[in-house]
Structure 1
Amino acid sequence: MVAEQGSYAAGGTIETTPGTFDPVALISTQGNTNHGDHAYVRYQTPVRARRLPLVLWHGGGQFSRTWETTPDGREGYQSIMLRRGWSVHLVDQPRRAGAGQSTADAPGQLAGPVDRSLWQLFRLGVYPDFFPGSQFPQRREAVEQYWRQRVQDTGPEEQEVVVAGVSAVFDRVGPSVLITHSNSGKYGYLTAARQPHVRAIVSYEPGQIVVPDDYNPRPVSTTDPTIRALTAPVVIPATAFRRLTRLPIHVVFGDNIPTTPSPYAALDFWRIVMARTLEMRDLVNARGGDMTVQSLPEIGITGNTHFPFSDLNNLEVADELSHWLRSRDLDRR
C-alpha cells in the first residue's frame, strides 16, 4: 500500500532582468524573473517503508521514464522496488523533461535520426539485428516505445547546474541510496563527493569515472579520439574523492561488452568504460573504500543491454540489487 505520493522541485536558480516590472503590460521584459535549473522529482512512499529511500537518476537523453513501465508493459524499478518496501524518488535532472525550465538557451542537440546509431551504443545488437539471446523485448511495439522515451535537453548540460540540482534533492529527502544510469554515473559520483546524505551508490553502466587530483590515470588502449575523450576520467580534489571511499559503491554491467578491440566504435566504447571502471574500483579500494563491479553474465544473468533494469529479466537484476543492499545493511525498516 502507498502511504504517500507526490512531486516537487529541488534546487534551481532565479534569473532576474534589470529594470522595473510593469504589471500593466501583458508581458513585461524588465524587472521580471525566471525560476529554472531545478530538478523535478516524483515520489511514492509505501506503508512501513525501509529507512533509506532510493533516489533513481536517469541517463543521457533519458528522463524518469527510464524507471517506469518497461517498453513492453512490465513493471519497472519504480514499482518493483516500491513493492519491496522502498520509498522511490524518480529524478528529472535540471534542463531535462519535467525539469525543463532553463535559464540558458540550449545548444545544438542530438536531434534527428540517430536511433540506429544508438542501437549499437545501447548494445541491443548490430543494427538491425539483436544480439543472440538478447533480453531486450523485441516486438515492434516495444521497440517503438523504447525510442519514444528519448528526450533532448532544454539548456546546456552544465556539470555544476546538474549536480547542484540533484544535490538539493538529497537536502530535501535526507539520507538515501542513489541509483544512477549511464551518463548520470559520473554526476552521481560528483554529487556523493559533496552531499553527505548520499549513503550508497548503485550505478548501472556509468560512462565515466572520477579520480582524485593526486592520481595519474592509466593509459587506455584505443586510438579513437572520440572514445578517449568520452571516457576520460573527471578529476576532483583528493579531499572530495575521499568521501567516495567512505560509502559503499556498486557498479553493474550487462552483456556483450568486448574484451578485445571491436570494429564497432559504439561497442569498443564499452570496452574502455569497463577498463576505466575497474581502474576506479582498484583506486577506491586501495584507499580503504568499498567499491564492487558486477558483470551480470559472469554470475549467470545473460543477454542484458545497456538498460538491464528494463530488460526481460529485470526481476532477476532487481534481485541482485536487493541482495547487495542487504549485504551492506542498507535495507533496514
Structure 2
Amino acid sequence: MRRHILAAAFGLACGLGAAQAQQVQEPITLRGMGSFHVGGKLVEISGRPVKDVVFTPGGTPARVDPNGTYQTGQMYVQYFLPQNEKGSVPLLLWHGGGMTGVNYETTPDGRQGWLEFFLRKGWSVYNSDAVERGRSSWAMYPDVIPGEPLFLTTANPFERFRIGAGGGYDADPAKRKYLPGSQFPAEGYDNFVKQIVPRWTSTDQMIIDAYIAEVDKVCPCVISFHSQSGQFGFKVAQARPDKVKALIAVEPAGIGDPAKAAALKDIPVLMVFGDYIEQDARWPTIRKTATDFGDKITAAGGSVDVVNLPAVGITGNSHMLMMDKNNLDVAQLIQDWLAKKGLTK
C-alpha cells in the first residue's frame, strides 16, 4: 500500500525554511568535473539538393551537399564530482519537456539550484540535456525526426505550470496575477522563459535510448526526473533495474509500462507533488495516473512514497519546484529520504 509521508518522518517539523536559509556557502572542492556525449546513431540522408551557401556577409560561396551520413540522437551530459563524496552512488538529474539541464543549475532569480545543493551534500551529480535539446543538438526533420518542433509562447507556462491564474499573464510584469501564496519567483519569470527550447513529440524512443546509454555508462545511480521525463525515468529503470538504486519522480507527467511494474519492486520510489493541483484542469488526472502506477509497483512488492508538499507544510509550489523560492526545502526533503533509504555515506 502506498504511504503518504508525514513531515516528521523527514525531520521537517521544526523550521521548514531552514534549508532555504542556509545559503551561506563554503567553497566547493571537486575531485573532477567534465562532460561527455552518449547514445545516438548514424543516419544516411539522400535526395536533398546541393546548394551554394554564403556563410559570412561578403564571403565566397561554398558548395554544401546535405546528403551523407549524420550523427543523430546523441545526448550531452555534464558531471561534477565532489572531493568529499557522501552519496553512495551518483545522482542523475533529468529535466522536463521543452527544457534543458539549465533547470537545475540555478534559479531564474539567481539563487542556488538543485545541482549545487546536492553537490554540496556530497553527491556526484550528472546533469543532462535530453536528445534534440540544448547542447545535445538536434537532427534534420522530417528526414530523421518525424514532424515539426513545438515552440512555447512566453505566456504558455504561466498557467500550465501552475505559476499564475488562468488569464493572469500580462506582458507587463506588474500586471501579472500569480496564484495566492505562489513561491515561484515573480521577478525571475521573464528570465525563466528564456530557458525554453523547441521540443518534438516524436523523439521519446530516441531520448530513452540515450538515457539508457547514460545509465550503462555511469550507474549504479539514483535518478531524479521531472515532468515529461517521468516516463523516461520509469521506463529506463524498468530496462535496467539492476543499475538503479532509487527513483525520485518530481511531478512526473508520464509513467512506465504498467505491465512491467514488478521490474521496479527492488527500487525505492519517491513521488513529489507541489501545490494548486486541485485547482488545475489537468493535474489531478496527471497525479492520479502517477500514483496509480505507484500502486502497481507497491502491489508487486515495491516501495513507493508519495509526498504532496502542502500536506507536510511546504506550500506555494508551482510545477517548477526546483526553481521556487522554497526549492531548497524540497531538495532537503529529497535528501532526507535518500538518507533514510541508506543511500548516503
* TM-score, normalised via structure 1 length: 0.82
Q: Which residue number corresponds to residue 281 of structure 1?
A: 294
SS in 1 for 2:159: helix
Q: CA deviation at 1:318?
A: 1.0
Q: Does 1:131 align with 2:166?
A: no
Q: Which residue number corresponds to residue 173 of structure 1?
A: 218
Alignment coverage as a number of residue pairs: 289
Task: Report 1:87-102 matches (<5 A).
Answer: 87-102=124-139
Instruction: Find 2:304's aligned residue among 291, 294, 297.
Output: 291
Q: CA deviation at 1:256?
A: 0.7
Identity %: 33
8 Å CA contact retained: 1:95, 1:157: no
Q: 1:162-220: per-residue Cα shift (whole Å, max 9, x none)?
A: 1010110111112110010000011111111102322211011001223434xxxxxxx
Q: 1:133 to 1:29 in 2, by over 3 A?
A: closer
Q: Which residue number corresponds to residue 145 of structure 1?
A: 191
Q: 1:29 to 1:276 in 2, by over 3 A?
A: closer
Letter in 2 for 1:144: D
- Runs of 4+ aligned residues of structure 1 deviating over 6 Å after TM superposition are none
Q: Which residue number corresponds to residue 329 of structure 1?
A: 342
Letter in 1 for 2:274: G
Letter in 2 for 1:110: L
Gaps of 5+ in 2: 1-28, 48-61, 169-175
SS in 1 for 2:225: strand
Q: Counterparts of 1:323 and 1:88 in 2: how far apart (Å)?
A: 17
* TM-score, normalised via structure 2 length: 0.79
Task: Report 1:208-247 matches (<5 A).
Answer: 208-213=254-259, 238=260, 241-247=261-267
Q: Counterparts of 1:29 and 1:282 in 2: how far apart (Å)?
A: 50
SS in 2 for 1:316: helix
8 Å CA contact retained: 1:180, 1:206: yes
Task: Report 1:4-153 matches (<5 A).
Answer: 4-17=32-45, 27=64, 32-49=68-85, 50-102=87-139, 104-105=144-145, 107-111=147-151, 113=153, 115-126=154-165, 127=168, 128-139=176-187, 142-153=188-199
Q: CA deviation at 1:26?
A: 5.6
Q: Which residue number corresponds to residue 188 of structure 1?
A: 233
SS in 1 for 2:281: helix
8 Å CA contact retained: 1:35, 1:101: no
Q: Counterparts of 2:264 and 2:210 in 1: how far apart (Å)?
A: 19
Give me the CA root mean square deviation.
1.9
Q: Counterparts of 1:17 and 1:284 in 2: how far apart (Å)?
A: 43
Q: Counterparts of 1:311 and 1:112 in 2: how far apart (Å)?
A: 21
Gaps of 5+ in 1: 20-24, 214-237
Q: Counterparts of 1:204 and 1:98 in 2: how far apart (Å)?
A: 23
Q: Counterparts of 2:212 and 2:145 in 1: how far apart (Å)?
A: 23
Q: Counterparts of 2:88 and 2:297 in 1: how far apart (Å)?
A: 26
Q: CA deviation at 1:105?
A: 4.1
Q: Counterparts of 1:300 and 1:249 in 2: how far apart (Å)?
A: 21
Q: Which residue number corresponds to residue 249 of structure 1?
A: 269
Q: Which 10-residue stretch deviates more, 273-282 or 197-206?
A: 273-282
Q: Counterparts of 2:100 and 2:307 in 1: how far apart (Å)?
A: 24
Q: Which residue number corresponds to residue 312 of structure 1?
A: 325
Q: 1:172 to 1:129 in 2, by over 3 A?
A: same
SS in 2 for 1:298: helix
